[in-house]
Chains A and B, each alone.
Chain A
Amino acid sequence: MDGDRPALRRTARAAVAGVPLVFLAVFFVWPLAAILERSLVEDGRLDLPFDVLVARETLDVTWFTLWQATASTALTLAAGLPLTWALARFSFPGRRLAEALVLIPFVLPTIVVATAFLAVLPDALEGTVWAILVAHVFFNVAVVVYLVGAFWGQLDGRVSDVAATLGADPARRFLAVTVPLLQPALAAAAAIVFLFSFTSFGVIVILGGPGYATLEAEIYNQAARLFDLRTAAVLALLQLAAVTAAVAVAGRLERRLGGGRTARSTPRRRPAGRERVVVTLVVAVSLALLAVPVAALVERSLSVPGGYGLDHFRALARETPALLVTPWHAVVNSFLFAGLAAAIALAVGLPAAAVAAGRRGGWLGMLVLLPLGVSAAMLGFGYLLAFDEPPLDLRGSPWLVPLAQALVAMPFVVRTVAPALRAVDDRLREAAAVLGASPARVRREIVLPLVAPALGAAAAIAFAVALGEFGATVFVARADWPTLPVAIFRFLGRPGAENVGQAMALAVTLAGLTVAVALAAARARAGRGWRP
């Protein structure tokens, strides 16, 4: 029997890796291959238009995409870390609410936030690259707060205390102790923010105007509007190559950096003395900045002829020419789809995280990121080509919505949970095993409590990502099953005060729903369920 065990374990490992691999193969690689084949293979011969690759415009667009993504990532990390620190290390009244509020910009459709942004943006910034960078920070701060925060909360605070005892001042403690310990989470968050900014589309189109284009915007333009699939496919390959390179660099960094090990997470404490001032200031300023555009939305959702009222919210239960169903249906649909998508993302993402956390599993952690870096338009076209016959005739199926959303949400699950799993001190497991605990019991009583914050954060952010997902959803959503962002988009596509008002009311509903779910998740996490 002993002889069978390593073999058994190998099979088990393969099975665990198999789930995410099959999912990625079916819902990512296959459709992508289908559209690339259709675009680039002619009469059985590969026809790569090199002239497009070396064209001056391509170089310009690539360069702009690259530098704005790099700048956006650096700014987002800088802007997000103080808030992450305050939310991850301290407990104060309203902390959970603040953490939930951070998610709002992340889930709102770009066009909604951009409208609000335009309303509060100084005229001098309109149509400049600064508007784009500020918007990217605004959208992506949640990624830093959640991914880094989950890890930070898990760190053993005693290391920092030891440094303090040895005479290190707070700045030195932060730079010499905390940052090195945080590095894996920082790298994970930076990689996702970079990918989001690199493939940014709505922000560029609305706030940048025709003067700015990212590769993603150009691919969309070529594929969906001009129907020049050859050019679109080459640009998509270029984008995929760039994204793969970026992901590989992030992966190397993450592994080299190692990061902190944890044996005991330090509970949040009340800020004391000068800390109190700093924490209050950081939270207040960050939330105020995040709240300005959101407040503009709320104001517009409540404004009716002659004053303020709830008319637009009441109208959500009535039929409208903008949709086949009442807007209220879209709210219910979104809730169902996002719940389903989060479940799929967890079902596929947790095994992936388990593999990615292992010594030789880093590649899977990288692989799951790639769907974030591929043009949504090309993937959408690929879905049309790939899933057109039984057994997988998914054309027009409502199932495509949660599946597409899960594809986008899964990287967040993996990138949140894998660093947490990796950080669990091996000696703890070994000690438990020596004391006679079965592997299942070790997982349940040692690993699970330690990674619980990360699991909760992963579920919340997967749900939020699915709730706000627009680029892929709009491609596969059915008219009789609209989601919230799709419904908002349909309303904004029509003139008239009532249409705009209902779009804003739906946006506020989306924001409220997100906060409610994030709060519930935080509550469940803090509840007894996860405690050993």
Chain B
Amino acid sequence: MTRLATVCCKVLAALLAVAAAGCGGGGETEVVLVTHDSFAVSKDVKAAFEQETGLTLRILQAGDAGEALNRALLTAGDPQGDVLFGVDDSLLSRALDGDLFDEYRSPTLDAVEDAYAPPDDRVTPIDHGEVCVNIDRGWFAKRGLHPPRTLVELTLPRYRGLLVVENPATSSPGLAFLLATVAQYPDRWQGFWRKLRVNGVRVVDGWEEAYTQQFSGAAGSPGKRPIVVSYATSPAAEVIFAGKPLETSPTAAIEDGCFRQVEYAGVLRGAANDEGARKLIDFMLSELFQADVPGSMFVYPVRGGVPVPEAFELHAIRPADPLTLPPEEIEAGRDAWIDEWTAIVLR
């Protein structure tokens, strides 16, 4: 047994040594981006950044936007990486209160459209996406039924049992949809949700369960409900990833009641490579990266005059006047709203 033990000790020691060696250093030649699961970038765009700056871009992603932020909060001051990307309006106050970021004002910020101007000097807007109600066009066509066009129509008896939404306590689009109703009906959103409950709204924990398992319009879904809370760009994704050319999308987004989420990036306080971090943020505002944003992440660029792919023009919507709420109002109300919502809809 002694020999076995020695061998095991050696294996373990070797592992530790390699592990320790494999991740020390880095520093100046590498910039680390901490982000959420939905982050994506084209390979050639990433390569362009690396060539331009001589830095290697390493990407750490885990969990949705909220989880990525919480990991960053846990390691505030001694961060996992140099830049955090993916903080949206509903989380922004928490990030700022947690003293996560160093101040940085990118010179490229002037190219950003006014509507997305940052509320604070510590964060830089990168993209925006709208959470909208999506419908299964085929389902309604087959039954000769008009799909809903507004939020309030969702409470009509003819749409009973057709809507599936995400739990705002556990899902980012779910929270955005709750915020949409708060923004739309500031004093009577509770009544709206009571009616939705009577009308048989189904609540699931996350977007994956809602869209890929409950929504009948998603390709290959076993779902039976033709109305779901998703994104303004989801219908374009159904076309782009259909696996065959499609004239029209099987789904459509409803213009009314869309809620805008702007996603921000910031230089993490205590970053090992803060110069690289600033370069990365500049790059994320460059035309190259901004033009890549729709195809990679299915959100829209914040920079003005950047073209979006044709499928987005044809099948996705760009709500002209989406609902929004100021970050501090969201921070002040969020927990109470979620508790109230839970009591109304789930209990």
Residues of A within 8 A of B (CB): 11-13, 15-16, 18-19, 22-23, 26, 38, 111, 114-115, 118-119, 205-206, 209-211, 221, 223-227, 229, 300, 303-306, 311, 319, 321-322, 324, 343-344, 347-348, 350-351, 354, 381, 384-385, 388, 390-400, 403, 474-480, 489-490, 492-501, 504
Contacts and interface: CB of A to CB of B under 8 A. Distances in A.
Nearest to B98: A227
B205 A495 contact: no
Contacts of B12: 19, 22-23, 347-348
Given A306-B244, A393-B24, A15 B167 contact: no
Given A206-B213, A399-B15, A495-B218, 18 more contacts: A15-B9, A19-B5, A26-B16, A119-B222, A227-B94, A303-B220, A321-B295, A324-B59, A344-B15, A347-B8, A348-B8, A390-B20, A392-B19, A392-B20, A396-B23, A396-B60, A474-B63, A501-B220
Interface size class of B (residues with CB under 8 A): 35 or more
Contacts of A344: 11, 15
A465 to B, nearest CB: 19
B80 interface: yes
A347 B8 CA distance: 5
B220 A227 contact: no
Interface in B191-216: 203-209, 211-213
Contact of A16 (B1, B81, B237): B1
Contacts, number: 206
B80 A225 contact: no
Contacts of A500: 212, 218-221
Contacts of B39: 479
A384 to B, nearest CB: 6
B325 interface: no
Given A12-B1, A211-B346, A321-B40, A475 B62 contact: yes
A277 B199 CA distance: 53
A324 B15 CA distance: 26
The 4 closest A-B pairs by CB, nearest first: A496-B241, A497-B219, A397-B23, A399-B19
Given A396-B60, A495-B211, A495-B234, A351 B8 contact: yes
B22 A399 contact: yes
A354 B9 CA distance: 15
28 contacts: A11-B2, A15-B5, A119-B222, A209-B203, A209-B205, A221-B170, A303-B220, A324-B43, A344-B11, A348-B8, A381-B74, A388-B78, A390-B20, A390-B24, A393-B23, A395-B80, A397-B23, A399-B15, A479-B39, A479-B61, A494-B298, A495-B218, A495-B298, A496-B237, A497-B242, A498-B241, A500-B212, A500-B221
B75 interface: yes
A496 B71 contact: no
A226 B346 CA distance: 18
A223 B170 CA distance: 12
A224 B70 contact: yes
A79 B1 CA distance: 38
Contacts of A205: 205-206, 209
Contacts of A115: 212-213, 222
Nearest to A121: B222
A19 B9 contact: yes
Specify the main secondary structure of chain A where it touches its partner: helix
A118 B20 contact: no
Given A209-B205, A305-B242, A500-B212, A385 B74 contact: yes
A134 to B, nearest CB: 16
A394 B211 contact: no
B19 A394 contact: yes
Contacts of B73: 227
Nearest to A443: B1
B297 to A, nearest CB: 8
B238 A224 contact: no
A410 B213 CA distance: 34
A495 B238 contact: yes
A395 B237 CA distance: 34
B1 A385 contact: no
B248 interface: no
Nearest to A497: B219
Nearest to A309: B243
Contacts of B7: 347
Contact of A385 (B4, B11, B75): B75
A13 B66 contact: no
Most buried by A among B18, B80, B212, B297: B212
B167 A210 contact: yes
B51 interface: no
Contacts of B114: none
A318 to B, nearest CB: 12
B169 to A, nearest CB: 7
Given A224-B70, A392-B16, A493 B207 contact: yes
A344 B219 CA distance: 41
Contacts of A391: 16, 20
Contacts of A343: 11
Contacts of A494: 237, 241, 298
A224 B63 contact: yes
B67 interface: yes
Interface string B1-40: 1101111110110011011101110000000100001111
Nearest to A477: B62
Contact of A479 (B19, B59, B212): B59
A27 to B, nearest CB: 10
B211 to A, nearest CB: 6
B94 to A, nearest CB: 8
Given A384-B75, A394-B23, A19 B218 contact: no
Interface string B50-71: 0000000011111100110011
Nearest to A315: B243
B246 to A, nearest CB: 9
Contacts of A398: 22
B243 A501 contact: yes
B240 interface: yes
A114 B220 CA distance: 14
B150 interface: no
Contacts of A497: 219-220, 238, 241-243
B277 to A, nearest CB: 15
Contact of B243 (A19, A304, A504): A304
Nearest to A296: B222
B220 to A, nearest CB: 4
A391 B43 CA distance: 33
